[in-house]
Amino acid sequence: MDVRSSLIEAIQKALQKLTVDLSFEEIHLERPANPEHGDWSTNVALAISKKLNRNPRDFASEVTEVLIHQSPDHMKKIEIAGPGFINFKLENSWLHDVLNQVVDAGTDNWAKHKIGNNKKVIVEFVSANPTGPLHAGHGRGACFGDSVARLYQRCGYSVQRDFYINDRGTQMKLYAESLAAEASDEKIPEDGYRGEYIKEWAAEMPPDVDPFEWGYQRALRSHREALEALNIYFDNWFSERSMVASGAIEETLTDLRSAEAVFESDGAVWLRSTNWGDDKDRVLVKSDGEYTYLLPDVTYHRDKFKRADLLVNVWGADHHGYITRMHAAMSALGHKPEDLKIAITQMVRLQRDGQEVKLSKRTGDIVELAEVIEEVGSDAARFTYLLLSVDSSQNFDLELVAQQVNENPVFYVQYAHARIHSIMKKSQEAGIERPSIAETDLSVLNHPSELAILRSLQELPDMVLRSTQEVAPHRITNWSRDFASLFHSFYHDCRVLGEDISITVTEARLWLVEAARVGLVVSLDLLGVSAPTEMWRNEEGEEFHG
């Protein structure tokens, strides 16, 4: 059993002994920021004394009294502090247990959870219209969505990645007309597409093809290539048209009708979304008989609920207004709104050397995602996109992110991993045979830098769980950066190999290094960033080979 659970159990027992009714109380155990407050701390006395109408410090001392007699594992000291916190100071052996657990679990199982219980989740992201290339903003949603999918996988869910394609409707028609016009040197329609890519693609288009179909495939290929450059692969490319052909859209309408969630007015069919908190009702079928964007999308979500228990959508900030109506439609169809989680990603502003970049150097048009990846590389692009909370708008500086310098945290983290491999390689070259961890004396690991690494590794499972629940992979990015920092300090403070290092210490530190490797590999994998085993800087300090 891990320390956290055994401490919680001990506290529960103590409270029971004091005949406190625990049924409503969750034991809150935390790792205090200040080391003087011990390794673990609880505020139960503060929380409960209020209900019991007692003095918190008096109550805390009663609880402490009982706890001391139970003497939980690794316990060194129990103290009351501040207004009534109970602080636990543990022997370092608790962290040596963590080391054992990390090594035992390895990269496949550390920070893995079973809470998903193989429940099916569909993460839908990007879903850009097939009317032109992906741009830098799509990159954020792409990296975010893929990382969220990885997080759900690590929490024991069965995950599918969906890309919804709006392959019919007004925009597609306009796009096809624009391509055709450009190809035959005619005037592009008023609301048509005009980017530089239209010229390029029109030039590629063979003369005797249907511009609609050809343009559709061309755009899809472009999307797929850009995403593959980021190492992102979808399980389903879900076509809007297929739902017309299958009759699914009409079925959805029928279901909504029988749920009495629609009405007709002015020759159009409306969703009564105001029943579910929307500020106005929404049109599903226009008076000209054409579907709005909403109805096929509702149908698509209906389909997803047939395939999965939980849906996660990643939408751009320009779609936030659709959350309420989509939840309304799902409620009307009998689904629980909380089973459709919608994450909104705020804007990305591209910059170069602090100046906003509106247009591509190459095409003079909007900067394509493919260009961003080409300029900065997949690892740096992913790490950078995942560095911030998606609730914040992002300034993405191409100049900075492309630089292989210390401003760039992705290399800082990867370098920690490269250093680990360097140590392992050196130890092999020195002919050191690491004994099994059971035969290794871990009690020599008492340097603050060594213990800090173990504390951080202990936190990773919680971090993974929280990142998943909050749909917030940037927490993992930040953890990996902090963890790399701890490793670099350790690297500086504690030599693993050397004539003046005893073999006992070397062996124990080699296992510590192995555990650190597990932490880095797990976190980088959740971000979709590679973990190079070597990184060398060239003479100019601008290139790296890994």
Residues 80-119 that bind RNA (CB under 7 A): 81-83, 85, 87
Partners of 274 in the β-ladder: none
> Would you count residue 481 as binding RNA (CB under 7 A)?
yes
Q: Name the residue nearer to RNA (CB basis): 51 or 362.
A: 51
Sign of CA dihedral 108, 113, 114, 120: negative
Which residue in 22, 52, 115, 405 binds RNA (CB under 7 A)? Answer: 405
Cα(66)–Cα(19) distance, integer angstroms: 12
Give the N- to C-terminal CA distance of the chain in Å, as an integer.
Answer: 39
Cα(515)–Cα(458) distance, integer angstroms: 11
> Would you count residue 322 as binding RNA (CB under 7 A)?
yes
3-state secondary structure of 515: helix
Query: By CB under 7 A, which span of 79-87, 99-107, 116-124, 432-440 interacts with RNA?
Result: 79-87
> Would you count residue 356 as binding RNA (CB under 7 A)?
no
Which residue in 98, 376, 472, 522 binds RNA (CB under 7 A)? Answer: 472
CB 122 within 8 A of CB 160: yes
Closest distance of CB 401 from RNA, Å: 11
Across the chain, how many H-helices and E-strands are there?
Answer: 19, 17
Q: Name the residue nearer to RNA (CB basis): 121 or 496.
A: 496
Closest distance of CB 132 from RNA, Å: 11
Which residue in 7, 283, 369, 471 binds RNA (CB under 7 A)? Answer: 283
Q: Name the residue nearer to RNA (CB basis): 74 or 325.
A: 325
* Site for RNA, residues 11 to 50, rule: CB under 7 A: 32-34, 36-37, 41, 43, 46-47, 50
> Would you count residue 52 as binding RNA (CB under 7 A)?
no
Tokens at 373, concatenated: 């990846």
> Would you count residue 265 as binding RNA (CB under 7 A)?
yes
CB 371 within 8 A of CB 362: yes
Contacts 24+ apart (CB under 8 A), 492-496: 492/449, 493/447, 493/449, 494/447, 494/449, 494/450, 496/423, 496/427
* Site for RNA, residues 372 to 391, rule: CB under 7 A: 387-389, 391
> Would you count residue 307 as binding RNA (CB under 7 A)?
no
Q: Which uninterrupted H or E stretch holds 523? A: helix 503-527
CB 421 within 8 A of CB 179: no
* Site for RNA, residues 121 to 180, rule: CB under 7 A: 129, 166, 169-171
Q: Name the residue nearer to RNA (CB basis): 246 or 287.
A: 287
Which residue in 3, 126, 423, 508 binds RNA (CB under 7 A)? Answer: 423
> Would you count residue 313 as binding RNA (CB under 7 A)?
no
Cα(543)–Cα(536) distance, integer angstroms: 8
Closest distance of CB 112 from RNA, Å: 19
Closest distance of CB 207 from RNA, Å: 28
> Would you count residue 433 as binding RNA (CB under 7 A)?
no
> Would you count residue 274 as binding RNA (CB under 7 A)?
no
> Would you count residue 219 as binding RNA (CB under 7 A)?
no
Task: List CB contacts of 318: < 8 A, sequence separation 6 or more.
Answer: none
